[in-house]
Chains A and B, each alone.
Chain A
Amino acid sequence: MTLKDFSLTAAVFRTETRSALRDRHVVVYSLVLPIFLYPAMLLLFGQVMQYRTGALERQTARIAWEGEEASTRLFAELRKDRRFEIVRGETGEDAVAAGALDAFLRVRPAGETGSAIEAFFDLSSDRSLTARERLRERWEEARRDLLRERAAAYGATEAVLNVLAVREENIASPEAMGRYVLSLLLPMILVIMLSMGAMYPAIDVLVGERERRTLESLLASGAPRVSVVAGKFLSVLAASLAALLVNLASMILTLRHQAGLFGGEEEFSIGVPWSAIPVILGGGALLGAFFSASMILVASPARTFKEGQGYLTPFYILSLLPAVAGASPGVEFGPFTALIPLTNATLLFRSALVGSFPPLPTAITLLSLLVYLFAVLLAAERILGREGVVQGRVRGIGQLRLALRPARAISGRSGRWRR
């Protein structure tokens, strides 16, 4: 490519980016949505949690029992507790099954094993589950009290029964915890955003142009084909990276904010280590380029935008699986996983976010991403170089295979477009 080709590439890139920024769909999905989505989601989640709490508080557990000998104190406590409603007239486990009671307690008379309480619940019902939770609280308390009193009769203190206190101490700093939380949440979202950010522009630059019937004039303009394709490719990549950055920033801001709201700053301090930024950007650029090129390629046989979407949606959805794999706990960043596309990028982001950069997997990841990118670019050059594809005469995935057969590819330089 000569210097002039470069400036042509830049011109194509500028035009494409400008037109993308004027497209409402692109603006809404790539910029507005991430900015508003995360705060809105957290806000909504907070409201739903508050509503749940309020509803739960107001909900009483409807209970009834038979016989009180076992622990009169327990039942006295239950009567006092406003969270329980003692239902008269309903009794027996059948009432629980019928939904008239949330729990039924039957006190078995003291036998050789001592008295015992049978507690009946309907574990398929939420109310019954809540009742169980509250009842457990109550009888744990009653049991502790009873035990303390009776143990005193034998001369044993609570400490004797306790044996040993156990304290759990988290040695991770709030920063480390914050990074860990991010490393669980972010990597998959980043990969998805990279691919979503590339999707619409990838259809638009080739298929959209074909649909608007502007492609022919562009190809007739005398600009080398390579410059045109490169400019378009770069603009898709830019959109993809922009989506990555906007999402990253918005998500971190929201999480920081939310952590501050709940006063959880002692436990979590949300932030990204500086050393992770170049890795995320570098890996993101490679992966974004891979997405951009392969999406332009997959969409290229389509005649209309809609059709392009039809081709890309399965591609996009199936590409989620390796990303999910990379985000699953227990999947480690090793030399083998570093070879699987998407999984490796997810793992790379994950380890970079906690500030660790295992040299071998990192190198393998970057290298393999580069190889995949190169392979896709090569395929793109071969396929998009055939005039039929650009013109839209090769239709359907099946015919794409025909195009893949080696043929006299029209090189960029002599790429004058003939019928």
Chain B
Amino acid sequence: MSIGDTFLVFRKEMTDLLRDRRSVLAMIVFPVLIHPILIFGSARLSSYGETRLKEETVTAVVEGGLPDLRERIVSAPGVRPLRARDPAEAVRSGRADIGVALPENLAISAGGEPEAVLFYDGSRGLSGEAMERVARILDEWKAEVREARLDSLGAAELKRVLPVEEKNVASEERMAGGKLGKLLPILLVFLLLNGASFAAVDLFAGERERKTIETLLTSLAPRSSIVAGKFLAVAVSAVIATLLFLSSSFLFTRIRWAGGEGLHDAWSVSPLSAAVVFVISLPLAFLLSAVLVLISSHARTYREAQTLLLPSLLLGVVPAAASVAPGVRLESIVAIVPIANVAVAVREALLGNYPILFLGLVVLSNSIGAYLVLRWARAFLSSERTVFGEARREPGVLPADRPRAREVTIFFAFEILVLYYLGSLVQSKDLLLGVILTLWGFLLLPTLVFARRYRLDIRRDFFLRLPSLRHLLAGILLAPASLLAANLLFHAQSRFLPVPEDLLEAFEKLMGSGEGGLVLMLFAVAVSPGICEEMLFRGLLLGQYRRVLSPTRAVLAGGLLFGLFHLSIYRFLPTALLGIIAGWLVLRTRSIVPAMFLHAVYNGIGVLAGGTGGALEGESLSTPWIAGAILLAAGALLLLREKEWGGGDG
């Protein structure tokens, strides 16, 4: 790489960008004017709506005894009394916003305490507001009556039992920092991506579209310099746009009408905090710009680049948002997770904490991330696809007929959707039968239909052939060890991903219900998944991925999708592990049947060991269990190995 060339490219790109009306729009006009107007305008509008609701007069029907309380309610400011016999009916008909049915008196009868009922219509905003107002009046009145009673009992001391005085030790500055810290990290990701996206798309996809890329590629400048120079231009645009937005919102908050509450006092953060925030957002700007450069260098046209932008936005926002979760601290493993660590560091810096060592890690990890992404982008820059602007691939292991990996992946996404809607619908009616219907009807059947539609050979493409007895045995023997490994993984991950207790309870209740008898349970939870899920994942997905990917990658990809399929962050890694083991077994034995047995036995042990809750909690992790599982696994490996000596059959 040459610094001179990099700077040359950078300077040319900045000139080019600043001469383009649209990029000036994206880099300057939008952040300075349009985004603040939108943000503060809508904030203003909604606070206006709320204020109006608070000021609106509500109509109240108050019936029953306790005249002093009744008088207090109807004479309160903003309440218009209405006479009606039935308060509930008055609210239902819409004539009143709130109906109050008071008891005749405060006597405690045999029927229990006296009770006041507030009738309101939750589907009308004003009625909810009226309910809150009246409830407040009731509370005040109750407190007064209680104090009067205590006085009359001579028990004035009971007015103050265990008084607690809460005090806040945080300075105003820290409070402001804390407030801003919740908002700024996510905002930063948005702003930086927004400021960078136009430049990124224009500089690569645009260059390709305008057919100037060839001349650039035949120049003497190294490709790394070209990428670096363009990347710098993108990053600078991102930083400029972000700074402009922040300063412009600062000015907006000074204008009275804008009343940007959250942001207004946020500006009292100390200059040091602001400086630290700026410095640690630079690596974030680099990383996000690098990602955009990658996207843009991959895209053949401007529009294609734009289509790819949305996923990148999600990719950036999710880690930033996740870092706001409770208990996430910079002094932990988080410090090396790009994007998320910047979000945490920004939050900490706004609170006045600057752990230098970890800040260094933040800068380092994001810069390394940016560097790796850029290297990847450089590869795209010189790849044929990008020069030609049409899909052409290098020849390789690919068979000449059309790969179906994409269609298969789309089918997978479709299956998730089916499961999400239909599966949970039938399972909410009857759990076990619902599971069986889901697996056979919504999983296996569509898989077979798909196979037929694309004229796949069920035997060959799904590895559906009889295995040797030895392989079958190996599959069964592998199950306990796989369960053990998944268990250990689950435990390891729960250090970072603690499972909520009610989720565990719900799961245990589900599995331990024993409803429908053990046989039905085993069929639904062990046998059916073993057949149906294997057919989809190890049959269709693995079979088709294997055609376009190396064995390792195909097994990994299939396993990860299997993990994703269970739609839970807690089950993702353990199930992905099972998927990977099963996939490996299929490729090893060239048959799907051992994997089916592995899966069925795996789930079966889970059911028998007192509900899969046991597997989740790891209570069954006793030493004999572990030793036995390892021994069986060793046996399985031996069986699989010996087969190889015997020479592979077709």
- B49 to A328, Cβ gap below 8 A? yes
Map CB proximity to A onto B570-603 as digits: 1 under 8 Å, 0 otherwise: 1000000000000000000000000000000000
Q: Does B118 contact A (CB under 8 A)?
A: yes
Q: Which residues of B contact A381 (CB under 8 A)?
A: none
Which A residues between 121 and 144 are near B, CB-CB below 8 angstroms? 121-127, 130, 132, 139, 142-143
Given contacts A164-B106, A166-B138, contact A120 B169 (CB under 8 A): yes
- B149 to A160, Cβ gap below 8 A? yes
- A166 to B420, Cβ gap below 8 A? no
Q: Which residues of A contact B168 (CB under 8 A)?
A: 120-123
Nearest CB in chain A to that of B102: its residue: A164
Q: Does B327 contact A (CB under 8 A)?
A: yes
C-alpha spacing A143/B353, complex, angstroms: 37
- B118 to A167, Cβ gap below 8 A? yes
Given contacts A50-B569, A165-B116, A180-B124, contact A97 B169 (CB under 8 A): yes
Which A residues between 60 and 82 are near B, CB-CB below 8 angstroms? 70-71, 74
Query: Interface residues of A: mostly helix, strand, loop or mixed?
Result: helix
Q: Which residues of B contact A56 (CB under 8 A)?
A: 326-327
- A125 to B351, Cβ gap below 8 A? yes
Given contacts A116-B164, A170-B121, contact A164 B116 (CB under 8 A): yes
C-alpha spacing A147/B146, complex, angstroms: 12
**Which of A70, A139, A170, A354 has most chain B Cβ within 10 Å?**
A170
- A99 to B353, Cβ gap below 8 A? yes
C-alpha spacing A123/B417, complex, angstroms: 42
Interchain pairs with CB closer than 8 A, number? 274
Q: Does A39 contact B (CB under 8 A)?
A: yes
Q: Which residues of A contact B153 (CB under 8 A)?
A: 154-156
Distance in Å: Cβ of A159 to nearest Cβ of chain B: 5
C-alpha spacing A126/B329, complex, angstroms: 11
Q: Which residues of B contact A317 (CB under 8 A)?
A: 30, 34, 38
Q: Does A331 contact B (CB under 8 A)?
A: yes
Query: Interface residues of B: mostly helix, strand, loop or mixed?
Result: helix
Query: Size of chain A's interface in residues, with CB distance under 8 A?
Result: 96
**Which of B22, B91, B160, B502 has most chain A Cβ within 10 Å?**
B22
Map CB proximity to A onto B492-534 as digits: 1 under 8 Å, 0 otherwise: 0000011111110000000000000000000000000000000
Distance in Å: Cβ of B149 to nearest Cβ of chain A: 6
Given contacts A170-B121, A171-B91, contact A124 B174 (CB under 8 A): yes
Q: Which residues of A contact B37 (CB under 8 A)?
A: 318, 321
- B138 to A164, Cβ gap below 8 A? yes
C-alpha spacing A201/B118, complex, angstroms: 52
Given contacts A120-B167, A164-B138, contact A35 B417 (CB under 8 A): yes
Which B residues between 104 and 131 are near A, CB-CB below 8 angstroms? 106, 108, 113-125, 131
C-alpha spacing A116/B253, complex, angstroms: 41
Q: Which residues of A contact B420 (CB under 8 A)?
A: 39, 43, 257
- B167 to A118, Cβ gap below 8 A? yes
Q: Does A51 contact B (CB under 8 A)?
A: yes
Q: Which of A143, A164, A328 contacts B115 (CB 8 A)?
A: A164
Q: Does B399 contact A (CB under 8 A)?
A: no
Given contacts A54-B500, A132-B166, A253-B421, contact A305 B302 (CB under 8 A): yes
**Which of A93, A96, A163, A260 has most chain B Cβ within 10 Å?**
A163
- B48 to A59, Cβ gap below 8 A? no
Nearest CB in chain B to that of A53: its residue: B500
Q: Which residues of B contact A146 (CB under 8 A)?
A: 161-162
Q: Does A113 contact B (CB under 8 A)?
A: yes
Distance in Å: Cβ of A145 to nearest Cβ of chain B: 9
Q: Which residues of B contact A143 (CB under 8 A)?
A: 161-162
Q: Which residues of B contact A253 (CB under 8 A)?
A: 421
- A169 to B160, Cβ gap below 8 A? no
Q: How large is the interface on B (under 10, 10 to 19, 20 to 34, 35 or more residues)?
A: 35 or more
Q: Which residues of B contact A325 (CB under 8 A)?
A: 45
- A58 to B498, Cβ gap below 8 A? yes
Q: Does B307 contact A (CB under 8 A)?
A: yes
Nearest CB in chain A to that of B139: its residue: A166
Q: Does A86 contact B (CB under 8 A)?
A: no
- B164 to A139, Cβ gap below 8 A? yes
Q: Does B567 contact A (CB under 8 A)?
A: yes
C-alpha spacing A141/B75, complex, angstroms: 35
Nearest CB in chain A to that of B52: its residue: A330
C-alpha spacing A114/B154, complex, angstroms: 16
Q: Which residues of B contact A159 (CB under 8 A)?
A: 108, 113
Q: Does B85 contact A (CB under 8 A)?
A: no
- A166 to B115, Cβ gap below 8 A? yes
- A52 to B123, Cβ gap below 8 A? no
- B206 to A306, Cβ gap below 8 A? yes
C-alpha spacing A171/B52, complex, angstroms: 24
Q: Does B50 contact A (CB under 8 A)?
A: yes
Nearest CB in chain A to that of B138: its residue: A166
C-alpha spacing A314/B30, complex, angstroms: 8
C-alpha spacing A162/B139, complex, angstroms: 11
Map CB proximity to A onto B420-434 as digits: 1 under 8 Å, 0 otherwise: 110011001000000
**Which of B103, B146, B303 has most chain A Cβ within 10 Å?**
B303
C-alpha spacing A24/B503, complex, angstroms: 40
Nearest CB in chain B to that of A74: its residue: B162
- A50 to B123, Cβ gap below 8 A? no
Which A residues between 15 and 44 are near B, CB-CB below 8 angstroms? 24-25, 28-29, 33, 35-36, 39, 43-44
- B165 to A119, Cβ gap below 8 A? yes
Given contacts A25-B306, A71-B162, contact A163 B146 (CB under 8 A): yes
Q: Which of A116, A179, A310, A354 contacts B163 (CB 8 A)?
A: A116
- A165 to B45, Cβ gap below 8 A? no
Distance in Å: Cβ of A43 to nearest Cβ of chain B: 6
Q: Does A399 contact B (CB under 8 A)?
A: no
Q: Does A407 contact B (CB under 8 A)?
A: no
- A119 to B162, Cβ gap below 8 A? no
C-alpha spacing A121/B164, complex, angstroms: 13
Which B residues between 19 and 42 are near A, CB-CB below 8 angstroms? 21-22, 25, 29-30, 34, 37-38, 41-42
Q: Which residues of B contact A289 (CB under 8 A)?
A: none
Q: Which residues of B contact A154 (CB under 8 A)?
A: 153-155, 158
Nearest CB in chain B to that of A93: its residue: B169
Q: Which residues of B contact A124 (CB under 8 A)?
A: 170, 174-175, 177-179, 351
Map CB proximity to B onto A88-117 as digits: 1 under 8 Å, 0 otherwise: 000001101101000000000000011011
Q: Which residues of B contact A314 (CB under 8 A)?
A: 25, 29-30, 34
C-alpha spacing A314/B428, complex, angstroms: 46
Nearest CB in chain A to that of B154: its residue: A154
Given contacts A125-B351, A330-B48, contact A156 B327 (CB under 8 A): no
Q: Which of A35, A119, A180, A324 contacts B123 (CB 8 A)?
A: A180
Distance in Å: Cβ of B47 to nearest Cβ of chain A: 9
Q: Which of B120, B122, B321, B567 contacts A48 (CB 8 A)?
A: B321
Map CB proximity to A onto B478-498 as digits: 1 under 8 Å, 0 otherwise: 000000000000000000011
Of all A-B residue pairs in the complex, the 9 with the closest CB atoms, nearest first, are: A124-B178, A330-B49, A180-B123, A328-B49, A330-B52, A310-B22, A53-B500, A54-B498, A58-B498
- B residues at A contact (CB < 8 Å): 21-22, 25, 29-30, 34, 37-38, 41-42, 45-46, 48-53, 56, 88, 91-92, 103, 106, 108, 113-125, 131, 135, 138, 142, 145-146, 149-150, 153-155, 157-158, 160-170, 174-175, 177-179, 206, 302-304, 306-307, 310, 318, 321-322, 325-328, 351, 353, 413, 417, 420-421, 424-425, 428, 497-503, 567-570
List 10 A-B residue pairs with CB atoms under 8 Å apart, sorted by A's residue number: A36-B417, A43-B420, A54-B503, A122-B168, A124-B179, A147-B158, A156-B153, A171-B91, A180-B122, A324-B45
Given contacts A120-B168, A124-B179, 12 further A-B contacts (CB under 8 A): A25-B303, A48-B322, A52-B326, A54-B500, A55-B498, A118-B164, A123-B170, A156-B150, A171-B88, A180-B122, A261-B424, A310-B25
